[in-house]
Chain A
């Protein structure tokens, strides 16, 4: 356990170990090998972010470079999943999901239901999400709520390298389609990661920090931001509990309710746009199920209802910051707006 890995290396190791364990696990996507069949260096890219680098030499025949056509290869991955393979498709940016959305939400998400439970679609679609990369409105979105809205999909968004490895392995072994969202700004974050394989079950939130005054419910990049805010608030005598949802569908609301029943205060932090978001979903569930425990209104810290700006100054203001999270907690505790 003394070994640390970055989130990117944890993804690579999870894919490596699962391809070794199960020959039906295949990985496909744009440039994930780096020009198979074309002249030039093999394994030059490892995908847009370099995540799959090195895997082709360990698992020849289990990785496929695809044409630049998401609708074609995401459809192929879903079809292959219904026929006995366990494909892991890499899609560069979640923002590109629009061109292959029919394959995902009308086909993959519906097969089990429409074929009377007889069809299984064990496909994983790995993709990157989130702002902060100066990549403008079409490469920076946090579309977690879009997929969470669709029944039949499982939605995962890890916050650290340990969870990433265990959740990706669980995603590959799961018999339903999984949308696996990797935050670009977390790729270099390191934690202790066991060398052995392990799976983290879906629908089990992690209490990233224990506290008694306020509950923050969040996921992804907002987990380290919320922990940073909690450290600041600790110095002010405010003891914050931070719940990392880890999976958005299924969602572990029991852990949220238990925490809010203890603290009586809830701040939902979500990098996604605010309307119909994870934050609004959790806020509504707590209002329905744990209203009697609340000592004050539920607060939300989210991006504004606007596209991600290209201006770096505006982008920095757009993303919820540790300072904004801390301010929201202070107001929830009864402080006047600062």
Chain B
């Protein structure tokens, strides 16, 4: 059978994804596809997103049907040059066996933990050669905020993502959490993993953490990508912060979470439930209150890094969603050459993953 045939598979977004629904195809049979092109929309019980092609080629066959649900790694399409006869494509589809190895796969993507001075830190790691990309999530988030980024970025080189102290599955009992708590955790993780320098990519509060790390330790940072970052202006949506911190029920939390996305329909039951599960953990409520009071007292941003960033001379890139309802997109103007993406909200790295991934890779591996 021709080794020129390349399958298009149902992606696996995060540990818990077992299956996905192919909502619609975005490309026709017979069209030429380049890596990174959005080829279909897929919906899971947690989220909906466009799938990027990981390989390029001629789309010979759409195997997956729009509206149908398929397990992870099921065959959805076939790429092959025009020279491969239809009969061979038919045979390929008929004999296709999903790459199983579910066990080893889970091991590769299973959460990892390290004990740092601040306490236990969870992180995820994708191996590779070169300077790693280190992903730092925002206030109340965790490393799953990079669900649509981590594997795409990993195709170009190593990637590390962490749960900051007080977040995700990392330590919750942190006395007087501050920006220093967060930057110490980032440097501590790099030390433990033997990472001398990293491309730091931070979202929202994580952008502030990444930027501050670059200012304090320019020797450890190869470049900075600040996405909808804190630290570049005064304003922040205090009603969102208060709602997020105080909400104890689905009914109270959902009206806060919808501010995160331009497409508010993305906030479904499962996403709200996942955030609630985090917020119910012992220590999270007190931690978030203390961190909010330290970084965003009186619904204003207390930390400002734009001037210091301009002074260190480290390559620094900025991405923002034009419809950001948490930190206004006008803050992107605090640094030069910012990219503002239309139609995206605060979680621009999820809502416009393809574009954000392409931008990051152009800066880190370009």
Contacts and interface: CB of A to CB of B under 8 A. Distances in A.
A255 B250 CA distance: 10
Contacts of B269: 207, 210
Contact of A1 (B15, B106, B251): B15
Interface string A152-173: 0000000000100010000000
B282 A254 contact: no
A198 interface: yes
A201 B111 contact: no
Interface in A13-66: none
Contact of A254 (B15, B169, B251, B268): B251
Contacts of A201: 248-249
B280 interface: yes
A222 to B, nearest CB: 20
B18 to A, nearest CB: 12
Nearest to A21: B282
Give the size range of A's interface with the partner: 10 to 19
Contact of A197 (B250, B273, B281): B281
The SS class assigned to the A binding surface is loop
A273 B282 CA distance: 38
B212 interface: no
A1 B16 CA distance: 9
B36 to A, nearest CB: 30
B281 A196 contact: yes
| Majority secondary structure of chain B interface residues (helix, strand, loop or mixed) | loop
A2 B269 CA distance: 20
B280 A166 contact: yes
B110 interface: yes
B277 interface: yes
Interface residues on B, range: 10 to 19
A143 interface: no
Nearest to A201: B248
A201 B276 CA distance: 11
Interface string A197-232: 111110010110010000000000000000000000
A194 interface: yes
B317 interface: no
A147 B281 CA distance: 29
A204 B249 contact: yes
Contact of B110 (A2, A162, A200, A207): A2
A200 B273 CA distance: 12
Contacts of B268: 210
Interface string B238-279: 000000000011110000000000000000110001000100
B281 A204 contact: no
Contacts of B282: 196-199
Contacts of B106: 2
Nearest to B110: A2
B197 interface: no
A194 B273 CA distance: 14
Contacts of B251: 254-255
Interface of A: 1-2, 162, 166, 192, 194, 196-201, 204, 206-207, 210, 254-255
14 contacts: A1-B15, A1-B111, A2-B15, A2-B111, A162-B277, A196-B169, A198-B277, A198-B280, A198-B281, A201-B248, A204-B250, A206-B273, A207-B269, A210-B268
Given A1-B277, A210-B268, 4 more contacts: A1-B111, A198-B281, A199-B280, A199-B282
Report the 3 A-B pairs with minimum CB-CB distance, sorted nearest first.
A198-B280, A197-B282, A198-B281
